[in-house]
């Protein structure tokens, strides 16, 4: 019987011998590689925290001692050890979430998958435990070195070290990476710690000795090595940055040495005050394809062959990100003012090609979206045109900076929002459904939503020429559809994609946002079969509302706006206001996603739930037209 089969809760883990634990670690890695290869997911980060997660559950008592994972993509091992071993539906509707999720288990504390928040959570929880007399409970925050580049981490540390009377353990899982290698002064500091004589010599010497020992000698040595790690951790405490913050420091520890990690965590637990444990791990540890992938060490993968690590079926078609990647680099070749900023996501956002061509014109600020946006305002003041490329969901973190530092100062900054709209498998906090509703409240902002590759290139070229305020280009995850050639382009840039009775009263006007254009065209075709006349337009620049949208609406009985963002405060709401201000009495129906957090599922499943398929929209419109007794326009004979 495999040891993994015996593990249903952390209590089972505590009963294992050291040798059984080592066997279990190997089984967990085999399980992760086999299962995640079938579904896709965050493989590299989880391979790197196997021993660390086992040690956490052997030393502490979850959920009595809450474990807070920063970001949470490295929580697969935690799920396995807390009784969740059915990975067949990972990141799929009805299956395990790719991040901690309270509805799955009492062991999951924080669901948000946005980085750098764990220390603030742990600070609050530990203060509450102390204040309510729960002095036997510890709080553990597991934070990556990449998350240490985020400002919230340092705000939390400042407050944590102001009150030392609580059981709080901060585990820095230092693998030198976020998506890509961690950058900046903090990264250089941690790299210096890794290469410090005591740690480096211990690593090199122990590896040589270990290779020469027989099995009995290895067992004895593991215990001695763990104790030696603890001694070096205590001895080196005063040599590190964290001592200046008045926080107990233990480390660095080899995160793949189970004895060393357990020994150090037990020390930290016993101090009864905030303690930082610095653990060195390797992303993708134990899986050669991941270890050899210098780009991101299999941070997030699709379905792969577990033996080779190669994709089972390469992605079909050209992705939105690749279109942006190529065109931005081409623009920068001829416009020296263009400079790009990434928040630790050079490759995922497509800035790597620009970095290859013009390395001095790409700035990686780490996981620090707020700093990125205000820094961009400064770059614009200095005469450059910054392009800030982030996932749409992460733009939420810098709304104040966009409002007060960019827009108030009328700074020419372009924001490229990848993964906008419904993305699907990564779950609630990764769906980019809020940007249209939140960003359009910013005075003077211009928001564009390309429907295909051609319009993405057009709109990006236009955006980087606008220097009197912020511009936004939003586009989804996945492959771009075929280009849709308009019947007509109005003087203000509005594209007419389809029109049954130009210049004559028409039943329905579809105003589409980005890739929802193709859905509207399909819905219009279904309605035509029912004798309902339709016009489909794509404003391209959806905020502010173009004059042509208002004028075209005058000759239609019903306007339907379609966006894959939340309906509340979305583009449809903006159009309704524009029509009212212009005295246009056309009925308006705004279609979008409900004002709730979308669960993890496929994009198609979530669109179906939101009623945003062509068939659902056509049925919805037909019911409105006939149910409201809105007269159906008939073309003159």
* Annotated binding-site residue numbers for thiamine diphosphate: 73, 113-115, 146-147, 175, 287, 369
Catalytic, out of 262, 291, 369, 622: 369
Question: Which of these is catalytic: 177, 222, 225, 283?
Answer: 283
CB-CB contact of 61 with 21 (8 Å): no
Residues 6 or more apart from 465 whose CB is under 8 A from it? none
**CA atoms of 102 and 122, how far apart (whole Å):** 16
CA–CA separation, 188 and 149 (whole Å): 12
Six-digit token string for 3: 């040891």
DSSP codes joined into one string, 359-413 = GGGEEE--S-HHHHHHHHHHHHHTT-EEEEEEEGGGGGGGHHHIIIIIITTT---
d(CA 527, CA 538): 18
CA 101 to chain centre: 15
For residues 438 and 497, is the Cβ–Cβ distance under 8 A?
no
DSSP 345-363: -TTTTT-HHHHHH-GGGEE
Return d(Cα 563, Cα 578) in angstroms, integer. Answer: 17
**Spatial distance between the Cα atoms of 317 and 569, rounded to a whole number of angstroms:** 33
What DSSP character marks residue 316?
P
Q: Which parts of 127-267 are beta strand (E)?
A: 139-144, 168-174, 248-254
| Active-site residue flag, 204 | no
In a 3-state reduction of DSSP, which class is residue 221? helix
| From 225, 397, 474, 603, the catalytic residue | 397
C-alpha to C-alpha distance for 108 and 397, rounded to whole angstroms: 23
The angle subtended at Cα 438 by Cα 434 and Cα 443, nearest 5°, is 155
Is 8 labeled as catalytic in the residue annotation? no
Q: How far apart are CA 421 and CA 520, in angstroms?
A: 16
| Total H helices, total E strands in the chain | 23, 18
Tokens at 517, concatenated: 């254009």
**Of the candidates 574, 609, 608, the residue with the CA atom closest to the CA atom of residue 588:** 574
Is 369 a catalytic site residue? Answer: yes
Q: Copy the structure tokens of residue 177.
A: 């990476």
Burial (CB count within 10 angstroms: exposed 0-12, middle 13-18, buried 19+), residue 494: buried
Q: How far is CA 534 from CA 486, 510, 571, 585, in A?
A: 15, 7, 20, 18
CA 39 and chain centroid, separation: 18
Across the beta sheet with 248-254, the strand order is 67-69, 139-144, 168-174, 275-280, 248-254
Here the contacts of 304-308 (C-beta below 8 Å, separation 24 or greater) are: 304/37, 304/40, 305/37, 306/33, 306/34, 306/37
Catalytic residues: 283, 369, 397
């Amino acid at each position: 019987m495999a040891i993994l089969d015996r593990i249903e809760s952390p209590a089972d883990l505590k009963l294992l011998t050291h040798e059984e634990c080592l066997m279990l670690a190997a089984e967990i890695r085999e399980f992760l590689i086999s299962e995640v290869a079938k579904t896709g997911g965050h493989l590299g980060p989880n391979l790197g925290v196997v021993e660390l997660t086992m040690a956490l559950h052997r030393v502490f008592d979850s959920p009595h001692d809450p474990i807070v994972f920063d970001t949470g993509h490295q929580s697969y091992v935690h799920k396995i050890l807390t009784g969740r071993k059915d990975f067949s539906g990972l990141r799929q509707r009805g299956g395990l979430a790719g991040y901690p999720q309270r509805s799955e288990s009492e062991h999951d504390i924080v669901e948000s998958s946005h980085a750098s928040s764990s220390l603030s959570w742990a600070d609050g929880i530990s203060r509450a435990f102390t204040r309510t007399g729960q002095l036997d409970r510890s709080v553990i925050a597991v934070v990556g070195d990449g998350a240490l580049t985020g400002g919230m981490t340092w705000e939390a540390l400042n407050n944590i070290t102001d009150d030392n009377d609580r059981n709080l353990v901060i585990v820095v899982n230092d693998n030198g990476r976020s998506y890509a290698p961690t950058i900046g002064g903090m990264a250089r500091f941690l790299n210096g710690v890794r290469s410090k004589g005591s740690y480096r010599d211990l690593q090199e010497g122990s590896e040589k000795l270990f290779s020469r020992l027989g099995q009995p000698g290895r067992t004895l040595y593991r215990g001695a090595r763990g104790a030696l790690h603890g001694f070096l951790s205590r001895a080196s405490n005063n040599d590190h940055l964290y001592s200046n913050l008045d926080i107990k420091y233990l480390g660095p520890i080899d995160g793949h040495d189970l004895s060393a990690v357990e020994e150090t965590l037990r020390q930290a637990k016993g101090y009864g005050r905030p303690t930082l444990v610095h653990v060195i791990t390797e992303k993708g540890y134990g899986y050669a394809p991941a270890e050899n992938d210098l780009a991101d060490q299999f941070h997030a993968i699709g379905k792969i062959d577990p033996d080779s690590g190669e994709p089972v079926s390469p992605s079909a078609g050209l992705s939105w990100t690749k279109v942006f990647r190529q065109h931005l680099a081409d623009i920068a070749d001829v416009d020296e003012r263009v400079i790009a900023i990434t928040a630790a996501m050079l490759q995922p956002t497509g800035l790597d090609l620009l970095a290859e061509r013009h390395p001095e014109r790409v700035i990686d600020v780490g996981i620090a979206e707020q700093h990125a946006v205000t820094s961009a305002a400064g770059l614009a003041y200095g005469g450059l045109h910054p392009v800030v490329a982030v996932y749409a969901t992460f733009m939420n973190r810098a709304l104040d900076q966009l409002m007060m530092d960019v827009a108030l100062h009328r700074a020419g900054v372009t924001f490229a929002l990848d993964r906008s709209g419904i993305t699907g498998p990564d779950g609630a906090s990764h769906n980019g459904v809020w940007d249209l509703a939140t960003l359009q409240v910013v005075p003077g902002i211009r928001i564009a939503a390309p429907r295909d590759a051609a319009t993405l290139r057009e709109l990006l070229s236009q955006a980087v020429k606008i220097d009197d305020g912020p511009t936004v280009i939003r586009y989804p995850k996945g492959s771009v559809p075929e280009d849709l050639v308009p019947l007509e382009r109005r003087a203000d840039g509005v594209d007419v994609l389809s029109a049954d009775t130009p210049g004559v009263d028409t039943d329905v006007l579809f105003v589409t946002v980005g890739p929802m254009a193709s859905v509207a065209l399909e819905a219009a075709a279904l309605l035509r079969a029912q004798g309902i006349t339709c016009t489909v337009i794509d404003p391209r620049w959806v905020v502010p509302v173009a004059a042509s949208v208002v004028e075209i609406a005058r000759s239609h009985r019903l306007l339907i706006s379609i966006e894959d963002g939340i309906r509340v405060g979305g583009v449809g709401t903006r159009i309704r206001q524009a029509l009212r201000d212009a005295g246009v009495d056309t009925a308006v129906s705004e279609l979008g996603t409900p004002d709730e957090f979308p669960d993890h599922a496929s994009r198609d499943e979530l669109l179906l739930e939101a009623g945003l398929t062509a068939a659902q929209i056509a049925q919805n419109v037909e019911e409105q037209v006939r149910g409201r007794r809105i007269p159906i326009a008939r073309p003159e004979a």
